[in-house]
């Protein structure tokens, strides 16, 4: 399911994605289609390479759409670990907002850690959060990793 230019597409899990503008710059530089998938509320881009897909409201509708649409040669940007696992299984490359690349070698451990942390939070109602704020270093690392992953996907 790659684009006519042979480089695939970049799918963005767009709801609450802090790096849409950075991903658009990389997509434009490489002449790749970028598809923003959300439940709405995302302003469409004037960039002809960027397409907005609005899915029905409901839990995980955007995730389902991306998981069904992506494949080898595509890059998916998401912080949703179960979605990332489905995309990796479909052959897509996955990058989290903080620049962490998820692939067949690490997705099992990342998914297990996520499930463990979810279990710990549900067992102890006072153990919430634990995440750190999104930083400039995360944004910079994201750009660097996305650039590398897009180049690999185009091969």
Domains of the chain: 9-153 (3.40.50)
- pLDDT band for position 1 (cuts 50, 70, 90): very low
Strands, E assignment, the chain: 9-13, 33-38, 50-54, 75-77, 93-95, 101-102
**pLDDT on residue 112:** 63
Question: 87 by DSSP, 3-state: which?
Answer: helix
- Measured CA to CA, the distance from residue 147 to residue 145 in angstroms comes to 5
Per residue in 12-44, pLDDT (tens digit) is 999 889 999 999 999 999 999 999 999 888 888
- pLDDT band for position 10 (cuts 50, 70, 90): very high
Torsion of CA 104, 62, 12, 4, to 10 degrees: 90
Assessment of whether the complete model's pTM goes beyond 0.75? yes
Average pLDDT (64-80) is 95
**pLDDT on residue 41:** 80
Average pLDDT (86-102) is 93
- pLDDT band for position 64 (cuts 50, 70, 90): very high
More confident: 66 or 41:
66
**pLDDT on residue 119:** 56
């Amino acid at each position: 399911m790659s684009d006519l230019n042979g480089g695939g597409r970049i799918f963005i899990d767009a709801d609450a994605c802090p790096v849409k503008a950075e991903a658009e710059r990389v997509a434009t530089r490489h002449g790749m289609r970028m598809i923003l998938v959300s439940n709405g509320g995302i302003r469409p881009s004037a960039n002809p390479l960027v397409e907005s897909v609005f899915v029905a409201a409901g839990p995980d509708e955007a995730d389902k759409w991306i998981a069904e649409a992506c494949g080898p040669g595509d890059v998916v940007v998401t912080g949703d670990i179960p979605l990332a696992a489905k995309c990796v299984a479909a052959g897509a490359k996955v990058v989290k907002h903080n620049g962490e690349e998820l692939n067949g070698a690490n997705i099992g451990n990342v998914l297990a850690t996520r499930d463990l942390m979810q279990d710990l939070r549900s067992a102890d109602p006072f153990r919430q959060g634990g995440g750190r704020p999104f930083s400039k270093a995360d944004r910079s690392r994201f750009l660097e990793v996305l650039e590398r992953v897009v180049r690999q996907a185009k091969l």
